[in-house]
Structure 1
Amino acid sequence: MTRTTPARPVSVETVFPELAAHRGRTTRLHPRPGRPGLRDSHIGGPMLWPDDEPWPVCHEPHRRETEGYAPDEIRSARAAGARPRSRPWHGAGSPGEDGPVPFVGLAQFFRRDIPGLAPGPDGADLVQLFRCPSPHGPHAERRYHLRWRQAAETERAERFLAAPPEVPLLGREHELPEPCVLHPAEVDTYPWAEDDTLPAPLIARIDAWDDARAAEHGPDAPSYQHDLSIPPGWRVGGFPSWASTGPMAVDCAACATPMRLLLTAEGHETDGGSHSWVPLEDRDPSVRGRASVRGGPSVARPTRLHFGRDRDLHVFTCPTDPGHPPRWVLA
């Protein structure tokens, strides 16, 4: 089903004409629980992975856990609309103490499905995103892995991996993504308005406009950051949001070039401040405002994933050489 972003409650370029020079495009992915296939762009579905190629694993030490959730029991509980039961870790304890930990496949995107996806090394047009299921160190840091492929070449493999390796227990239920099909749709987007992301006089005018709207119409009045600049949820390209950290300089570690945003992963597709972005197909047309949103968790948190403390995971790549190491920023 098509997903249509509603018209913005205010024409931002009418209020701030100079924003036209900063306009960008982002592809909203609109994941919804489903049954994606090997050759589909998806979140949480089966990876297009040749059977003779080693699955990525994390070799670093991992933080010790005392209990966790079996992946198959998580799947069964979700199908039944219930919560999975936690189990104690037996034997040596945490995954990783007895050997490498297999990464969890989070998503794969083909440029044939998402034209806005930036090309990878040597024009690669398929990207696959992975996360280690276990935290690292005292600050529970995460490790991610990005694999680029030539889609046509990969699809010629004789056999594909039927079931990737999994750890017996996951520390949190939200480590396991729910298989989701995508409904890509491009929308206009504008930079986060803070620090030097836009000219200082323009940011001052945006802030003053937001304050005046809130004073006149109350806290639910549309605002630039929530309603007019950057949509929530999984998206490809566009501008990063900086709600938790404030804007950061993200430069390539190999060549110091400012990096570009490849994709953003987010645990929630909507929240109290961003409900205006919910697609028309997920609304009750007879009701206005936040109450019109329907679909429950399948719309609000379809992938079941979390990133940090409900932050955005921004994946950056080098525009000069996409083969340079990517950077992962929680914001």
Structure 2
Amino acid sequence: MPRTTPPRPVDIASVFPELAPLARQAVRLHPRPGTPTAHESSIGGPLLWPAEEAWPVCAKEHYHGRVLPVSLDDVRQRRALLEAAWLRRTSLHEPLLSAEERAVLARLQAGHPKHSEPIALLPVAQFYVRDIPGLAGPEGRDLLQILWCPNDHSGGLPSAHLVWRDSGSVGKLLTDPPEPADVEHYGHYVPEPCVLHPEIVTEYPLDLPEELLERLDDWGRGVWAADDPDEQWSPGSAYYQYEHSVAPGWKVGGWAPWSFCDPWPMHCETCNAEYQPLLTVSSGEWDGGSGSWIPLEDREAPTGPVGLRRPSDPPMVQIGRGYDMQIYVCPTSFDHPHFENMQ
């Protein structure tokens, strides 16, 4: 089923014409539960990986804090146990788990000492250029694959690895790739397999001149007061942020979803060109402040139990305390290093 973002409340560029030249195309990916193959674009699905090509690993330092890493199998078993428990539960007054299940869960959450050898990377995303409007790679390459080390690194993020390849020259596929021996304790960086429903939307930046932000603030307060005169609190300029600026959720391209920190310049360490957003990894496609972005097809509440996998977060990935991770690339060369930031 395709996904359709509702129209924005107004055409913001007609209200503020100076925003018109700043419009950017973003592709909302709308990942939803499925069983993608290596020949499809996906989040958390199998990669079209040549059997003879070495699987990438991470030899960087990992940060686990006061908790121990777990195995990938621990994460999968834990999710399966909790999913089954939530689906069978008929009342909030009954225990979620039996005594035996609590013991199994405790074992799965106990963790193990971290390994000293390099950690195999985990597939995160695979994008065929044919499926993602506007996505373009090096000449002759039509497939972007993104993997990461599913552990915290400097900055509190997983460490991503990007591969561009020609899908037509892969040959024999690797069908049983290595799995990471260590995974972040809570499994926040283990994406569940999802098929994609790409949709083009228009975005406008949050990093704007102060004078324009002040006018957006006044306008937002006025619109909010007219729509809900009894409301005591107004989001002010955040009304523009919530309703007209940056789409929430997993997406390719667009603008940066600045949230808990102010915008700051990000430039390629090789050539000093300004980085451009490639992929936004989101902790959820909607929340209390972004309800107007919920696709039309997802507006009806589920008629039955939803289990562990929330409708707003099918990949089950969490960045920080519910933030976004954005992967930036240099616009001058695919060979220059990419950049990762939490926003």
Deviating beyond 4 angstroms after TM superposition, the runs of 4 or more aligned structure 1 residues are 81-84, 219-222, 291-298
1:268 aligns with 284
SS in 1 for 2:297: helix
* 1:61–1:198 distance in 2 versus 1, CA, 3 Å: closer
Q: What's the CA shift for 1:247? A: 0.9
Q: Structure 1 CA distance, aligned partners of 2:81 and 2:40?
A: 25
**Percent of counterpart pairs with the same letter?**
38
Q: Does 1:223 align with 2:233?
A: no
CA distance in 2, matches of 1:134, 1:201: 41
- What is the Cα deviation at residue 199 of structure 1? 3.8
Determine the structure 2 residue equivalent to 1:31: 31
Q: Check the 8 A contact 2:157/2:342 in 1, yes or no.
A: no
Equivalent of 1:149, from 152, 157, 165?
Answer: 165
Paired position in structure 1 for 2:89: none
Partner residue in 2 for 1:80: 84
SS at match of 1:80: helix
1:120 correspondence with 2:142: no
TM-score (norm 2): 0.83
1:270-285 to 2 correspondence within 5 Å?
270-284=286-300
* Cα distance in 2 between the residues matched to 1:200 and 1:226: 18
SS at match of 2:188: helix
1:81-96 matches, within 5 Å, as: 85=105, 86-90=108-112, 93-95=113-115
- What is the CA distance between 1:89 and its match in structure 2? 3.7
The alignment status of 1:302 with 2:322, answered yes or no, reads no
Q: Following TM superposition, by how much is the alpha carbon of 1:18 offset from its aligned partner in structure 2, in angstroms?
A: 2.5
Structure 2: which 5+ runs fail to align? 87-96, 98-103
Question: Does the 8 Å CA contact 1:121/1:323 hold for their aligned counterparts?
Answer: no
Q: How many pairs align?
A: 313
Whether contact under 8 Å (1:120, 1:323) holds in the other structure is: no
1:175 is aligned to: 189
Residue-by-residue CA offset, 1:189-230 (whole Å, 9 max, x unaligned):
1111xxxx3344322211111233344423588921011111
Instruction: Flag the 1:317–1:123 CA change in 2: closer, same or farther, 3 A.
Output: farther
RMSD, matched Cα:
2.6
**Aligned residue for 2:217?**
207
Q: Within 2, Cα distance between the matches of 1:236 and 1:295?
A: 31
Q: What is the distance in 1 between the residues matched to 2:216 and 2:294?
A: 23
User: Are the structure 2 counterparts of residues 120 and 67 from structure 1 closer, same or farther at C-alpha, using a change threshold of 3 Å?
Assistant: closer
1:255 counterpart (257, 262, 271) = 271
- Cα separation, 1, equivalents of 2:83 and 2:304: 20
Contact 1:33 1:298 in 2 (8 A): no
Alpha-carbon shift at residue 166 of structure 1 (Å): 3.2
